Amino acid sequence: MGVDKQGRWLTVGLAVLVTALLALSLMTGPAHFSLRTVATSLVSDQGVASIIVRDIRLPRTLLAALIGATFGIAGASLQGLLRNPLAEPSLFGAPQAGAAAAAAIMAFGFAGALSLAVPLGGIAGALLSVGALVAIAGRRASLTVTLLAGLALASLAGAAIALIINLAPNPYIALEIAFWLLGSLRDRSMDHVWLASPFMIASWIILALNAGAFRALTLGEDAAASLGINVERTRVLVVIGVALGVGAAVAVAGAISFVGLVAPHLVRRFYGSDPARVLLPSALAGAALLIAADIAVRLVPGAVEIKIGVVTALIGVPFFLAMIFRERRVLEDSSQ
């Protein structure tokens, strides 16, 4: 089977998998419902079942799909832009800055963890980090300088989060922030979906429009420029796109890591060396991963629900280390 045909079948399979996981997520929880009950609860009033399905499970399921897709396409875009398989959204500091702004809003009494002011603040923090990144690195900076500036801003945002928790006037608020930063989709409402989804969808559009540039960049920056690609403009647009989507995602769900790293690598081998063809499958794989992780945290017995950010980290860290060892072996083999 050729790469093109294999890739098309995988895309269809991922779409079917996401659809099945969406249905399973609406069925799964302390009160298990059949698929028929879920369907009727969505379109008509079924009493308690409708409240559980519409008001509790539907928002967290939609957010899992949207956030997973956002991290997936953001990770694939950054890997295409930087031509580096280890690139992921946190390299530019947007998630950390969004989390710091949201944490400040909660810590100093402007809003509670479930208030809509938190995602708005997180989005503003992510966009501010992008503005600072462009200002520090300069509009004509190389990718190396841009990466270093992003890592510096990420470290600064991490330190700001620690300082905010330290200075929080109420120790219970500090504890609430600490748990929120672990990442969770519990107790989210449709208001959070409606607020965050426009930013995430805008992020997808911006990144998808740069797919042709990622294809040209596989030949190098000079070759891409000779083909008519404005590398500087592409870099700025990708960073803005990542900041919009990831900032909104982190603001409504806390820190969820490694999805943007894992999802592209799960599908890349089926699509050849063209980074443009990986964007949609990466988004679908990211959505499937996060929905599956959210289902898993609801199935684990316990008095307190496991944070979804903990689950993605437990999956992502071994995957990340395996990738590092594989890259090291490739370099050692090429040097011999």
pLDDT tens string 23-36:
999 999 888 888 99
State how far the Cα of 137 lies from the Cα of 276, in Å rounded to an integer. Answer: 26
State how far the Cα of 96 lies from the Cα of 98, in Å rounded to an integer. Answer: 5
State how far the Cα of 4 lies from the Cα of 84, in Å rounded to an integer. Answer: 23
* 189: DSSP letter: -
State how far the Cα of 135 lies from the Cα of 56, in Å rounded to an integer. Answer: 42
State how far the Cα of 12 lies from the Cα of 228, in Å rounded to an integer. Answer: 33
Q: Residue 109: is it exposed, middle or buried by C-beta count within 10 angstroms (0-12/13-18/19+)? A: exposed
Q: Please count the residues of the chain.
A: 336
Q: Give the containing element (helix H, strand E) for 18.
A: helix 3-27
So what's the pLDDT on residue 20?
96
Q: How confident is the model at residue 327 (pLDDT cuts 50, 70, 90)?
A: low
State how far the Cα of 268 lies from the Cα of 261, in Å rounded to an integer. Answer: 11
CA-CA-CA-CA dihedral for 77, 79, 83, 85, to nearest 10: -160
CATH number at residue 145: 1.10.3470.10
> What total number of domains does the chain contain?
1
Q: Give the containing element (helix H, strand E) for 71.
A: helix 58-82
Task: Answer with the residue of higher pLDDT: 302 or 231.
Answer: 231
So what's the pLDDT on residue 74?
92
Of 262, 281, 260, nearest in space to 323 by CA = 262
Q: Residue 117: is it exposed, middle or buried by C-beta count within 10 angstroms (0-12/13-18/19+)? A: middle
So what's the pLDDT on residue 330?
66
The answer to whether 141 and 165 have CB atoms below 8 angstroms apart is no
Dihedral sign computed on CA atoms, order 112, 52, 297, 98: negative
Task: Answer with the residue of higher pLDDT: 242 or 291.
Answer: 291
Of 291, 219, 257, nearest in space to 57 by CA = 291
Q: Residue 139: is it exposed, middle or buried by C-beta count within 10 angstroms (0-12/13-18/19+)? A: exposed
For residue 252, pLDDT beyond 80: yes
Dihedral sign computed on CA atoms, order 211, 215, 221, 225: negative
* 297: DSSP letter: H
- Write the pLDDT tens digit of every residue in 100-138: 888 888 888 776 655 677 777 888 888 888 778 777 766
In the structure encoding, which two tokens stand for residue 5, read together? Answer: 């045909």
So what's the pLDDT on residue 18?
96
φ, ψ of residue 133 in degrees (nearest 5): -60, -45
- Write the pLDDT tens digit of every residue in 159-172: 998 898 888 887 77
Residue 230 half-sphere exposure toward CB, CA atoms < 13 A? 8
State how far the Cα of 267 lies from the Cα of 12, in Å rounded to an integer. Answer: 12
So what's the pLDDT on residue 255?
81
State how far the Cα of 27 lies from the Cα of 35, in Å rounded to an integer. Answer: 6
Q: What domain range includes position 189?
A: 3-335
Q: How confident is the model at residue 227 (pLDDT cuts 50, 70, 90)?
A: confident
- Average pLDDT of the chain to the nearest whole number: 84
The answer to whether 160 and 100 have CB atoms below 8 angstroms apart is yes
Q: Residue 268, Cβ neighbours under 10 Å: how many?
A: 20
